[in-house]
């Protein structure tokens, strides 16, 4: 095994470095200073051989060294160019992705605004245009002020109102049913009243004539009969009132 050099460089003709390696079979490792490959194989160390460059360092001529160094320089340049192209490609992809994300964020924000405005207007939130003191120049296009609401919170408020209105509608339907029954009952009474008036009219005429044959229809009776005629002349429509006299 040759003695370990203190330093090794291309400048003084040394293109390799040999250092101790307790884990290596021979106790040493060799590093090629041209391609930076390290080998712990005892034969590579003994022969000062680089498997990547495929050279024996002690037999390397200056011309071969220059060619090897040129190859390494070309490889580095190519690797740098490849890395630069990769970085450029990734940067473009990042810009494209950022643009798509920005577009999506803009679309989401507009949709959220539209939802807030639609629900806010339906719920009766105040219009900006109605408060020219604080929002001078505001028009209907500026919409309503929904405060700190988000689409989710204002949708929850709308759902609560729908639930309340549905309950009130059911209550009104029940009250309307009761009122309709009352109206039907009133219709039946009106029908009966008009029938009684119609039936009483000839009886009044006969009774007045019996009281005073010289004046078949007196002033009082005549007034009453005119009122009966007027009442019976008023059009009256009722649904099934006559068919349900017992209601």
Report the distance separating Cα 157 and Cα 142, nearest Å.
Answer: 22
Share of the chain above pLDDT 70, in %: 66
| Residue 11: predicted pLDDT | 36
Contact call for residues 39 and 57 (beta carbons, < 8 A):
no
Strand ranges in the chain using DSSP code E only, listed in sequence order: 16-20, 28-32, 38-39, 49-50, 55-56
Q: Is 62 helix (H, G, I), strand (E, B) or coil?
A: helix
Is the pLDDT score of 76 beyond 80?
no
Q: Counting runs of H as helices and runs of E as strands, what totals does the chain give?
A: 4, 5
Range with the poorest average pLDDT among 20-24, 32-36, 109-113, 235-239: 235-239
| Residue 171: predicted pLDDT | 82
Q: What is the mean pLDDT of residues 186-192?
A: 63
Is the pLDDT score of 198 beyond 90?
no
Is the pLDDT score of 98 beyond 70?
yes
Is the pLDDT score of 208 beyond 80?
no
pLDDT tens digits for 63-72?
777 777 777 7
Sign of the alpha-carbon dihedral angle for 124, 125, 131, 135: negative
- Total length of the chain: 247
pLDDT tens digits for 107-145?
888 999 999 999 999 999 999 999 999 999 999 999 999
Contact call for residues 241 and 194 (beta carbons, < 8 A):
no
Q: Which residue in 147, 98, 92 sits closest to 119, CA to CA? A: 147
Residues 6 or more apart whose CB falls under 8 angstroms from that of 23 comprise: 40
Q: Which residue in 243, 155, 245 sits closest to 196, CA to CA? A: 245
Is the pLDDT score of 81 beyond 60?
yes
Q: Which residue in 63, 69, 36 sits closest to 50, CA to CA? A: 36
Q: Which residue in 106, 115, 122 sits closest to 149, CA to CA? A: 115
| Residue 5: predicted pLDDT | 45
Residue that wins the pLDDT comparison between 59 and 137: 137
| Residue 26: predicted pLDDT | 87
Average pLDDT, the chain: 76
Contact call for residues 27 and 21 (beta carbons, < 8 A):
yes
Report the distance separating Cα 204 and Cα 208, nearest Å.
Answer: 6
Tokens of 82: 């490849």
């Amino acid at each position: 095994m040759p003695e370990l050099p203190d330093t090794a460089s291309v400048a003084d003709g040394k293109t390799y470095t040999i250092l101790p390696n307790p884990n290596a079979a021979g106790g040493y490792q060799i590093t090629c200073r041209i391609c930076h490959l390290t080998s712990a194989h005892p034969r590579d160390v003994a022969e000062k051989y680089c498997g990547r460059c495929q050279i024996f360092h002690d037999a390397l001529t200056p011309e071969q060294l220059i060619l090897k160094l040129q190859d390494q320089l070309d490889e580095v340049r190519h690797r740098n160019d490849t890395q630069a192209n990769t970085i450029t490609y990734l940067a473009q992809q990042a810009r494209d992705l950022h643009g798509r994300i920005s577009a999506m964020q803009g679309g989401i924000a507009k949709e959220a605004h539209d939802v807030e405005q639609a629900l806010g207007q339906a719920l009766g939130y105040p219009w900006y245009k109605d408060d020219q003191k604080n929002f001078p120049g505001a028009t209907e296009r500026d919409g309503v002020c929904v405060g700190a609401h988000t689409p989710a919170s204002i949708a929850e408020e709308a759902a609560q109102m729908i639930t309340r209105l549905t309950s009130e509608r059911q209550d009104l339907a029940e009250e309307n049913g009761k009122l309709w029954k009352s109206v039907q009952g009133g219709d039946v009474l009106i029908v009966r009243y008009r029938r009684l008036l119609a039936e009483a009219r000839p009886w009044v005429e006969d009774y007045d004539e019996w009281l005073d044959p010289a004046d078949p229809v007196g002033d009082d009776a005549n007034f009453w009969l005119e009122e009966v005629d007027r009442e019976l002349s008023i059009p009256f429509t009722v649904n099934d009132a006559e068919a349900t006299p017992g209601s």
